[in-house]
Amino acid sequence: MPNQTLWGHPKGLYILFFTEMWERFSYYGMRAIFILYLTAKTTEANAGLGWDKVSALELYGWYTMMVYVMSVPGGLLADRWLGQKKAVMVGGVLLCIGHFILAFDEIWAFYTGIVFIILGVGALKPNISSMVGGLYQTGDLKRDSAFTIFYIGINIGAFAAPLLVGYVGEVINWHYGFGLAGIGMALGQIVYVWGQKYLTTVGNFVPVQRESGTNKKVPLTSIEKDRMIVLILSFVIVIVFWGAYEQAGGLMNLYARDKIDRVMFGFEVPTSFLHYRLCMLFT
């Protein structure tokens, strides 16, 4: 069963494709309306929290930062205790809980929901990508095309989310939008659970066997030191890039709402519709 292929790739790839597609749908959908909900006036028909822009951007910054930071303990969770497959399962469950809690129009629900989402993305995001690579043997030329297919799923979810979640949240009700993002994540989790039969050989926990006397520190070779320098420099570049990229969901979202004439043929385009297009400016 796990060795079955479809269009030249293991069927497990398509399970991970749809799981990640719906996870990105839920995340980018919530991200598209996050800052808009925080700053929407409490007196509007679709009332938000009425925060000032500075406070809203501060919370948005902490939220997006923690989403990335939690990938580190998420990776440790998989490597040392659960394995990637179970870590993704746990992350999906946490995300479903978080998004559905956000559907409640209560301030406690908002804070609780984003905490669950942070934990869920941290457990799911770094490990599901690793599982894609694990479907292939080292040196398999199909691995590169597999990641291309996988990232197509990411972009489909990120493209559709601002249109669907954004419209429902911004035009109808913010919490309906958060709930729709939760439905998307639930669909992804259902696909992942159903597709476990195609993932039996990947993402399993493998304890590290340590022989006695092997815990002493071994100095790095010159090649390893050079690689560490390149890795650290890559971190700096990546931090700058994602710092700019995340402005699409924060400052650029507010700019699009307040400074851009969004009326076309008598229809006012919701700000969230521009979210994915703003993201593309940085990619």
Dihedrals phi, psi of 263, to nearest 5 degrees? -85, 125
Contact between residue 40 and residue 174 where contact means Cβ atoms under 8 Å apart: yes
Q: What is the per-residue burial (b if ≥16 Cβ within 10 Å, else e) of 3-38?
A: eeeeeebbbbbbbbbbbbbbbbbbbbbbbbbbbbbb
Tell me, what amino acid is at 146?
Answer: A
Of the pLDDT bands very low, low, confident and very high (cuts 50, 70, 90), residue 209 is: low
DSSP H/E element including 97: helix 84-102
Q: In this model, does residue 2 exceed pLDDT 60? A: no
Amino acid in the structure at residue 91 = G
Confidence at 272, pLDDT banded by 50, 70, 90: confident
Check residue 218 and give its pLDDT.
Answer: 78
**pLDDT score, position 279:** 54
* Contact indicator for 266, 235 with CB cutoff of 8 Å: no
Tell me 207's DSSP state: P
**Residue 180 pLDDT class (50, 70, 90 cuts):** very high
Q: Which domains does the chain have, with CATH numbers?
A: 10-205 (1.20.1250.20)
Q: Among 271, 73, 22, which residue's Cα sits nearest to residue 166?
A: 271
pLDDT at 179 over 70: yes
Overall average pLDDT of the 173-179 stretch: 93
Pull the structure tokens for residue 133. Answer: 């690579």
219-236 in b/e burial notation, b at 16+ Cβ within 10 A? eeeeeeeeeeeeeeeeee
Structure confidence by residue, pLDDT tens digits, 46-91: 999 999 999 999 999 999 999 989 999 999 999 898 999 999 999 9
Range 113-132 average pLDDT: 93
What are phi and psi for residue 13, nearest 5 degrees?
A: -60, -40
Least confident of 66-70, 130-134, 170-174, 211-215: 211-215
Q: What is the pLDDT of residue 282?
A: 47
Tens digits of residue pLDDT in 145-168: 999 999 999 999 988 998 999 999
CB atoms < 10 A from the CB of 69, how many? 12
Residue 95: per-residue pLDDT: 95
Q: Is the pLDDT of residue 283 over 60?
A: no
Interval 31-60 mean pLDDT = 92
pLDDT higher than 90, residue 249:
no
Quick: pLDDT tens for 95-104.
Answer: 999 999 999 9
pLDDT at residue 260 above 90?
A: no
Helix (H) or strand (E) holding 51: none
At 246, is the pLDDT very low, low, confident or very high (cuts 50, 70, 90)? confident
Cα Rg of the chain (Å, integer):
21
Give all strands (DSSP E) within the chain, no chain letters: 5-6, 9-10, 263-264, 267-268
Instruction: Over range 192-213, report the average pLDDT.
Output: 80
Query: Whole-structure pTM over 0.95, yes or no?
Result: no
- Closest-CA residue to 154 (of 129, 178, 136): 129
